[in-house]
């Protein structure tokens, strides 16, 4: 094999796209609205409590599309917003969303052959549930990335719609602990783990992520525990599955 041929095998060819698979991904996301809507309502309610107008909250929900980090950013929100607070919010959002680097890297073997003008816009609307739907489809042998885009679009629409009831029900949700709304985010992410469970070996990196995150949270202020837990799990999983692949 020549060097050029060897290099070609390392770069995936362009994945196919079809509207049929787009609608498959759209339909597969039907199971997510209860969690997504409650999640989005919580953000809308938090925005209202912080004094944002409805249009502020709507555009925040539509343009940021960052889920967990939107909750965190609103916790730091002040009126008037100072440059110091804005910088802190940006740093926290960046930290919380570092997990997207790992999710995006996992899609490269599938979508890495796409031109930038197709891959980058689709990655900009990636969400955790859409990623899980897509990666499960790909592990089952699917190649059409329309499934990924369909799931992303459905979830995006649900997300921006959910701000409306959340914003106008803010008075009822002003004390989220009373209704258990503060548990939506952790329960939502725990539930998302179920479809990607591949066996007992997955328990090791997941368990390590929990332990490391709890230790770092106790010792280091801020949201670095999210990054620490994610990186610890990622490195352990890489080592475990590399050894498994070598043995296989």
CA distance 181 to 15: 40
Residue 241 — pLDDT band, cuts 50, 70, 90? low
The pLDDT score that the predictor gives to residue 7 is: 43
CA distance 43 to 112: 33
pTM: 0.72
Report the range of poorest mean pLDDT among 26-40, 184-198, 200-214. Answer: 184-198
The pLDDT score that the predictor gives to residue 68 is: 77
Residue 5 — pLDDT band, cuts 50, 70, 90? very low
Query: Is residue 12 scored above 90 in pLDDT?
Result: no
Name the CA radius of gyration of the chain, rounded: 20
Mean pLDDT along residues 242-246: 53
The pLDDT score that the predictor gives to residue 244 is: 54
Residue 96 — pLDDT band, cuts 50, 70, 90? confident
């Amino acid at each position: 094999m020549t060097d050029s041929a060897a290099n070609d095998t390392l770069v995936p060819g362009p994945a196919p796209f079809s509207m049929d698979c787009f609608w498959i991904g759209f339909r597969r996301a039907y199971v997510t609205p209860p969690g997504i809507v409650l999640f989005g309502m919580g953000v809308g309610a938090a925005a209202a409590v912080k004094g944002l107008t409805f249009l502020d909250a709507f555009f925040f929900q539509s343009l940021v599309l960052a889920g967990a980090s939107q909750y965190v950013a609103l916790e730091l929100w002040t009126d008037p917003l100072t440059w110091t607070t804005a910088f802190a919010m940006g740093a926290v959002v960046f930290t919380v969303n570092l997990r997207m680097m790992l999710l995006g890297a996992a899609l490269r073997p599938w979508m890495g052959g796409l031109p930038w003008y197709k891959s980058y816009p689709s990655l900009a609307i990636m969400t955790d549930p859409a990623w899980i739907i897509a990666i499960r489809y790909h592990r089952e042998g699917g190649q059409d990335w329309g499934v990924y885009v369909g799931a992303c679009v459905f979830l995006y629409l649900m997300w921006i719609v959910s701000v409306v009831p959340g914003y106008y029900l803010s008075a009822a949700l002003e004390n989220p602990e009373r209704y258990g709304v503060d548990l939506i985010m952790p329960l939502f992410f725990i539930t998302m783990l179920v479809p990607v469970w591949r066996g007992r070996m997955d328990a090791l990196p997941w368990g390590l992520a929990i332990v490391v995150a709890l230790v770092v949270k106790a010792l280091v202020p801020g949201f670095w525990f999210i990054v620490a837990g994610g990186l610890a799990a990622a490195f352990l999983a890489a080592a475990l599955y590399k050894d498994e692949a070598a043995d296989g």
